Structure 1
């Protein structure tokens, strides 16, 4: 069976890549203009713009909703106002004005079979746990989906320490298990290019600044500063700020200043296929890959989701929403 899916907060399409073997993307949305360029170059379609301005009724029917949404605090002001007016409200009202609200209203309108949401690991502890509690209440109690969540570290599949929370939901109370990743993955040296242009080597000025900055904070007992990567292990987490100075992942070069990763190496660090086209500036590419997902992780989750849907094993009662990932 082929599944229709939508790609919200699509970025450059990392989650979409993982689900394409199972069906067709019928709608995508992304507000960043440079990310939309990369998306269109690779998928042949330009994503719709700001999802907050799109009516859920206008979005095509779909089986699976995909979204890597930003983490935001929820204000209870609107709820307090409704209480003072004696009006009824639901959990969904607590999320108005946030981007999660737009995911929830689309799920409510379209009732997909399943969804996959991806976010930073700290979503669970954000705002002292209030943010995630509201999210779970909306998904489970108001929208009536069976929810599973897990924080997964991508380092078993790519040479990068990258922990993200994945939230999987099903309209039916379906049994589901997250994939168990290997504890040890590939080495950073495996994804490096052989002939790297000199422009990626740090200037003396920047390298001296980074060393002085780290020394100053080390003296205060802080861990701030650059990260010289171990080529036989995995890197720190690639972030959207990598374009600024590359300090979190620097590649050592014998006898000379270290260098930044190239955009292609960043793509490989996130598990993007070699066929993936990079035609934007280095600055834009660094931001895009830093904001993206580790594709191989999502591929395994997608595989397990499709298997769960097709096997259709149901619980008589809904399971505990929290699933803990145990590494081998």
Structure 2
């Protein structure tokens, strides 16, 4: 068993992945009250609120830090300055001060792929520099598409895996999980819904199909495809980014709760105690659970291997 902390926890997608690998959560933090409600419903505890107001000394010691942190621009102060100067005022700073105090052995950070080019590439440079040079981690970044790892959705995210060199040595190497040979497609998960998720005929005509340009993505039981990335604004019914189902009273509907769970790799018994708008927002902001589960499995395997040899 290993202990972990769940920062910027959302509704607990990373927690599910950690627990499936035998982990025990000793601390969680999430400032959004709607996400806190969903988290409590499923894990029996309300995450602590705003991480910027939590003293790192109050956080229990842990083996593993997980954070799907939001990215903001960092200052471009020279390398000789400490991380306080480089990352102050950003949420990454809070991750860093926790790592510095606890000397956490293993880390997994998750973000959108744009993190690499964000602020002209400066943001990623600072993150890498701080983790490696200021904090002493060996890090392994990679952009992974969830569609290669057990979900019927195109969803690229950058994952940054890190190992504390004082614990595992400078020569530690990490192998990313290999892609699944058998892919999953959305038609395996579609349900029948006559009511509840319908998009009005008027909205279809005036907006969704106002142009004959092959958009938006419409799916049905014959669609052996991966859906587009589920975004947090899905409830706004955007024709360019949305995926909709040929079904229901009006002929076209939104994705159902269970379909969203399948798209994100959440268990079917995961509880959603919030409004539909919040549900879409929460799933859109979450992680694809099977990807993270596989990455964490590899991290633990690598840690066990190098701990023995170091």
Give the match for residue 18 of structure 2: 19
Deviations 1:236-256 (CA, angstroms, capped at 9, x unpaired): 000000011264111123995
Q: Is the 8 A contact 1:155 1:183 kept in 2?
A: no
Please, which of 187, 205, 216 is the counterpart of residue 202 of structure 2? 205
Report the equivalent of 1:320. Answer: none
Conservation of the 8 A alpha-carbon contact between 2:152 and 2:184 = yes
Q: Distance in 1 between matches of 2:65 and 2:159?
A: 13
Q: How far off its partner does 1:92 sit?
A: 4.1
Mapped partners of 2:243, 2:309: distance in 1: 45
1:270 aligns with 2:279: no
1:164 equivalent to 2:157? Answer yes
Alignment equivalent of 2:139, drawn from 134, 141, 147: 147
Is residue 2:241 matched to residue 1:260? no
Equivalent residue, structure 2, for 1:70: 70
Q: 1:315 to 1:94 in 2, by over 3 A?
A: farther
Which range moved further: 245-254 or 59-68? Answer: 245-254
CA 1:214–1:106: 2 relative to 1, 3 Å: farther
Provide closer, same or farther for how the CA distance between residues 204 and 143 of structure 1 changes in structure 2, counting only shifts above 3 A.
same
Instruction: Note the C-alpha offset of 1:313.
Output: 6.3
For residues 51 and 91 of structure 1, what CA distance do their matches in structure 2 show?
Answer: 18
In structure 2, the residue corresponding to 1:236 is in which secondary structure?
A: coil
- 255-264 or 146-155, larger mean C-alpha shift: 255-264
* Structure 1 pair 238–214 and aligned structure 2 pair: CA distance change class (3 A): farther
- Provide, for residues 21-58 of structure 1, a one-character-per-residue CA deviation record: whole Å limited to 9, x for no partner: 32210000000001000000000000000001111111
Q: Kindly state the Cα deviation for residue 300 of structure 1 after the two structures are TM-superposed.
A: 0.4
Is the Cα contact below 8 Å between 2:198 and 2:248 reproduced in 1?
Answer: no
Runs of 4+ in 1 over 3 A off after TM superposition: 211-215, 253-256, 313-316
d(CA) in 2 for partners of 1:279 and 1:66? 24
CA distance in 2, matches of 1:256, 1:33: 34
Confirm or deny that 1:95 pairs with 2:87.
yes
Say how many residue pairs are matched.
299
What root-mean-square deviation, in Å, do the aligned CA atoms of Structure 1 and Structure 2 show?
2.2
Output aligned runs, 1:24-35, within 5 Å: 24-35=24-35
Distance in 2 between the 1:183 and 1:124 partners? 28
Q: Where do 5+ consecutive residues of structure 1 fail to align?
A: 317-328
TM-score (norm: length of structure 1)? 0.85
* Structure 2 Cα separation of the partners of residues 159 and 29 of structure 1: 29
Q: Is the 8 A contact 1:92 1:142 kept in 2?
A: no
Distance in 2, matches of 1:144 and 1:226, equals 46
Partner secondary structure for residue 243 of structure 2: coil
Aligned counterparts of 1:131 and 1:214: Cα–Cα separation in 2: 38
1:288–1:279 Cα change, 3 Å: same
TM-score by length of 2: 0.90
CA distance in 1 between counterparts of 2:81 and 2:193 reads 58
Aligned-partner SS, 2:300: helix
Residue of structure 2 aligned with 1:175, choices 168, 173, 189: 173
Other structure's SS at 1:10 match: coil
